[in-house]
A and B are shown apart, each in its own frame.
Chain A
Amino acid sequence: EVQLVESGGGLVQPGGSLRLSCAASGFTFSNYWMNWVRQAPGKGLEWVANINKDGSVKYYVDSVKGRFTISRDHAKNSLYLQINSLRGEDTAVYYCAREGLYCSGSSCYSQYYFDYWGQGTLVTVSS
């Protein structure tokens, strides 16, 4: 069974930092692109960042570029999001999500949708 379990959220002051983690199990973690998606209180979902299978390619939403860093550790089957210079508007539930995968023969291709999500971890930025 595919499981994604986020941790690391909490209350942090403006300008502070946090490191979010997402523990993956039930699938071959190294085969999949992974993402972070967040939802601010009373707001909709917002894609934050993604990372390719080997960690060499990373993309970010404009509002977090230079402040957030996505990374992964295959030995620990874990995805991370280092969030620095936190602002009030970063207050949100942060979800990790797996991208779909299509395989044909020996070739596999990442698909542009999220087939599994974690339950989320809450980050609150407040003084």
Chain B
Amino acid sequence: QSALTQPRSVSGSPGQSVTLSCTGSSSDVGNYNYVSWYQHHPGKAPKLMIYDVTKRPSGVPDRFSGSKSGNTASLTISGLQAEDEADYYCCSYAGSYTVFGSGTKVTVL
């Protein structure tokens, strides 16, 4: 039940694109197409941004997209905006449990 590995921080200027990686194993990310991503502003409830690797809930801008290759999932934010500055967590189903990533802080320069 080890946490998925995410880069500690990523930064970009407004309008740029950034990609966040999420590396797991063949027991979680690599074995299931049930990767989700959450945006978390400190002091607020986390918000679902992507589910089932690539799907976007209604209301989430199409600037957010997800993908997966092998044991690594990715979240891309295109056209970065100031309000995108937050912590982002990946999450994967792993059979009888669920595991989150270590989190990536996105900074908009």
Contact = CB atoms under 8 A, between A and B. Distances in A.
Contact of A50 (B1, B47, B98): B98
Chain A binding surface SS class = strand
Contacts of A50: 98
Nearest to B51: A113
Contacts of A114: 36, 38, 46, 48, 91
Contacts of B36: 112-114
Nearest to B34: A112
A44 B52 contact: no
A61 interface: yes
B45 A95 contact: yes
Contacts of A97: 46
B57 A45 contact: no
| Chain A: number of interface residues, binned into ranges | 20 to 34
Given A112-B32, A114-B46, A47 B97 contact: yes
Nearest to B40: A45
A117 B103 contact: no
A97 B91 CA distance: 13
Contacts of A1: none
B90 to A, nearest CB: 10
A45 B46 contact: yes
A113 B44 contact: no
Given A95-B46, A112-B36, A119-B44, A47 B52 contact: no
B104 to A, nearest CB: 10
Contacts of B40: 45
Interface string B10-45: 000000000000000000000010101010100011
24 contacts: A35-B98, A37-B100, A44-B3, A44-B101, A45-B100, A46-B3, A47-B91, A47-B97, A47-B99, A50-B98, A59-B97, A61-B97, A97-B46, A100-B51, A111-B51, A112-B36, A112-B93, A113-B34, A113-B48, A113-B91, A114-B36, A114-B91, A115-B57, A117-B47
Interface of A: 35, 37, 44-47, 50, 59-62, 95, 97, 100, 111-115, 117-120
